[in-house]
Amino acid sequence: MAINQSKVQANYAASILRVAQGSDTDVAIRLLLGLMRDPPMSNVTEEQARLHLEAIEVYGRLADVLREGKLGVAPPWAAAQTATERWLSVT
């Protein structure tokens, strides 16, 4: 049975997001940067690759907000979860 690499990556990303959200800011940023370094595999569909890359962009924006640490600005955790769920829905 072939392994669906995109599904594995999307599930991994969802798990890491949950851990990152419960972590301190420095750890969360490091976890998000790790997710951003995990590009789509060459054997995935165009839609899977597109949604994976969109999720990576959202992770980058989230990391930026966390890095800036502006008071009163809520980190976009929900946007990151939504992007990951969209990606997971096509795997």
What pTM does this model have? 0.91
The tens digit of pLDDT for each residue in 44-88 reads 999 999 999 999 999 999 999 999 987 677 888 999 999 999 999
Q: What is the number of domains present in the chain?
A: 1
Which phi and psi (to 5°) does residue 86 adopt? -65, -45
From residue 17, how far is each of 3, 21, 59, 68, 90 by CA, in Å?
22, 6, 9, 19, 19
Domain that includes residue 28, residue range: 5-89
Alpha-carbon span 62 to 75, nearest angstrom: 6
C-alpha 89/C-alpha 1 separation (Å) is: 20
What 8-state DSSP symbol labels residue 40?
P
